[in-house]
């Protein structure tokens, strides 16, 4: 604890009637301050109350080094903001400064408002033009509600955050940045959510929608591999996968006595081995940096999908083609 006294000038004048005020009591005030090594610190001093003898107006003595709205010093307040700006989490900042989590949260909220809003409510427009956008949704709390996020894919900066996962989210973002800003956007990565894709196509037809690797493979596993596994298990009356996963590596046969059994496994699970090949080629396609090379890999995948046993699990061959490159190009 650091004890001291405030440097004071003359007794202030009443802001209401202009008369000179009188001292009307005092109390000891304590403010949290910067840490010294591993020890917390605070400063204490006498703070006076003034009263006007004419109109009765009272007010507390001002403290020039106190942070607004918090019982901490301005130095500690600025140090906390700096830590948050450097990327430390609220929990980490709380441990480093000794402040409560709620206090750190309030400081961080004010910092974000100062940085990203004009008046604490109106969001500022992006300072830089983004060429590639990414849009995705995530669950809130118990999973019954969603929020949508739009980011600059090159810088990673968050450009828009809103409740819901509908077209309205995209429309509101475009209205915020305006049509001229959107003219500089070349492509947007989405998660195969038709609402997001259609919203961009309706308002900004020049923007190329793309599907990222994660969501493409996720949909492939859920809608194709999962459906085929269920159909095959129902037909055979047995589980034909190991641990819920496909055989991703070929079985190495070292004993000639097992050759016949190995060949029988391949014959029974030929469809699943084919799906593994598709997944490997899809992963290889996303490693390409040349558009022609990637297109060739996707073309090979579509050729494999023309096998009758694969196409059967799609509504049509056209569905296969649209699934892999349809209206949206895969993301390089």
- Cα torsion angle, 309, 313, 318, 321, sign: negative
Distances in Å between the Cα of 169 and the Cα atoms of 113, 114, 148, 172, 175 are 21, 23, 7, 5, 10
Cβ-proximal residues to 37 (8 Å cutoff; 6+ apart), any chain:
none
pTM: 0.60
Higher pLDDT, 230 or 245: 230
Closest residue by Cα to residue 309 from 223, 206, 200, 224: 224
Q: How confident is the model at residue 330 (pLDDT cuts 50, 70, 90)?
A: very low
CA dist 84 and 24 (Å) reads 40
pLDDT reading at 251 higher than 60: no
pLDDT reading at 261 higher than 80: no
pLDDT at 194: 72
pLDDT at 240: 44
Range 100-127 average pLDDT: 89
Mean pLDDT of the chain: 80
pLDDT reading at 106 higher than 90: yes
pLDDT at 126: 87
The string of pLDDT tens digits covering residues 278-309 is 888 888 888 888 888 888 888 888 787 776 55
Range 240-265 average pLDDT: 52
pLDDT at 210: 84
- Cα torsion angle, 263, 269, 270, 272, sign: negative
The string of pLDDT tens digits covering residues 63-94 is 999 999 899 999 999 999 999 999 899 999 99
CA dist 240 and 300 (Å) reads 26
pLDDT at 329: 46
CA dist 299 and 317 (Å) reads 13
pLDDT at 243: 42
pLDDT reading at 232 higher than 90: no
Which of 34-43, 244-253, 321-330 is most confident? 34-43
pLDDT reading at 101 higher than 90: yes
Domain 132-211 - what CATH class?
Answer: alpha beta
CA dist 81 and 227 (Å) reads 51
For the chain, give every domain's residue range: 2-116, 132-211, 214-330
**275 C-beta neighbours (distance < 10 Å), count:** 22
Higher pLDDT, 255 or 80: 80
pLDDT reading at 331 higher than 50: no
**303 C-beta neighbours (distance < 10 Å), count:** 9
The DSSP secondary structure of 239-253, one letter per residue, reads --SBTTB---SPPPP
- 221-249 burial, b at 16+ Cβ within 10 Å, e below that, comes to eeebbeebbeebeeeeeeebeeeeebbee
Helix, strand, coil percent content, the chain, rounded in steps of 5: 40, 25, 35
Q: How confident is the model at residue 258 (pLDDT cuts 50, 70, 90)?
A: low
Q: Are 66 and 35 in contact (CB under 8 A)?
A: no
Which of 130-134, 161-165, 192-196, 301-305 is most confident? 130-134
Range 117-142 average pLDDT: 86
């Amino acid at each position: 604890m650091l004890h001291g006294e405030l440097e004071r000038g003359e007794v202030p004048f009443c802001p209401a009637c202009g008369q000179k005020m009188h001292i009307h009591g005092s109390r000891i005030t304590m403010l949290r301050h910067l840490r010294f090594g591993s020890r917390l610190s605070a400063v204490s001093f006498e703070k006076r109350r003034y009263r006007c003898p004419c109109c009765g107006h009272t007010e507390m003595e001002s403290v020039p080094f106190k942070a607004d709205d918090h019982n901490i010093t301005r130095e500690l307040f600025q140090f906390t903001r700096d830590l948050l700006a450097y990327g430390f989490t609220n929990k980490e900042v709380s441990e480093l400064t000794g402040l409560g989590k709620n206090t750190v949260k309030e400081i961080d909220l004010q910092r974000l408002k100062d940085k990203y809003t004009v008046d604490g409510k109106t969001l500022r427009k992006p300072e830089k033009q983004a060429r590639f956008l990414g849009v995705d949704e995530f669950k809130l709390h118990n999973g019954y509600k969603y929020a949508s996020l739009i980011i600059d894919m090159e810088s990673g900066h968050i450009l828009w955050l809103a409740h819901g996962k509908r077209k309205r989210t995209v429309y509101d973002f475009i209205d915020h940045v305006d049509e001229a800003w959107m003219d500089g956007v070349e492509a947007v990565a989405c998660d195969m959510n038709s609402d997001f894709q259609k919203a961009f196509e309706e308002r900004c037809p020049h923007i190329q929608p793309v599907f990222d690797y994660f969501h493409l493979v996720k949909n492939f596993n859920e809608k194709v591999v999962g459906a085929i596994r269920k159909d095959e298990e129902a037909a055979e009356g047995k589980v034909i996968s190991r641990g819920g996963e496909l055989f991703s590596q070929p079985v190495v046969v070292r004993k000639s006595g097992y050759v016949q059994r190995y060949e029988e496994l391949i014959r029974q699970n030929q469809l699943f081995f084919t799906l593994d090949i598709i997944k490997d080629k899809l992963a290889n396609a996303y490693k390409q940096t040349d558009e022609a090379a990637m297109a060739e890999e996707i073309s090979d995948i579509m050729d494999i999908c023309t096998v009758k046993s694969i196409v059967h699990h799609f509504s049509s061959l056209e569905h296969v083609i649209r699934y892999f490159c349809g209206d949206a190009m895969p993301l390089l």
